[in-house]
Amino acid sequence: MTIHVGHASPPHRDSTVAEFHVAHDGFVDIPAEIYRSEGQLMIAIYSRAGGDPWEFPLGDFIEAIGKGIAILDH
């Protein structure tokens, strides 16, 4: 799987975002985007079936990923 990153201006955001695209079976999913909200970097993660995203401060999410990697490395 290849994750592509692109610049977008979706109508549900007040400013531009970095969208993550995954192509498969002739479709393109956008499972996540990074954006700014009140000066803070945020990440929104969308379920494959659509609907509302989970939204987290990006720093917290990156920290959690690091902890997950550490768990798997032990």
User: How do residues 18-61 score in pLDDT, each as one tens digit?
Assistant: 999 888 888 888 889 999 999 899 999 988 666 788 888 999 99
Q: Is 67 exposed, middle or buried (0-12, 13-18, 19+ CB in 10 A)?
A: exposed
Query: What predicted TM-score, i.e. pTM, was given to this entire model?
Result: 0.77
- Structural domain of residue 15, as residue ranges? 3-73
Q: Provide the domain count of the chain.
A: 1
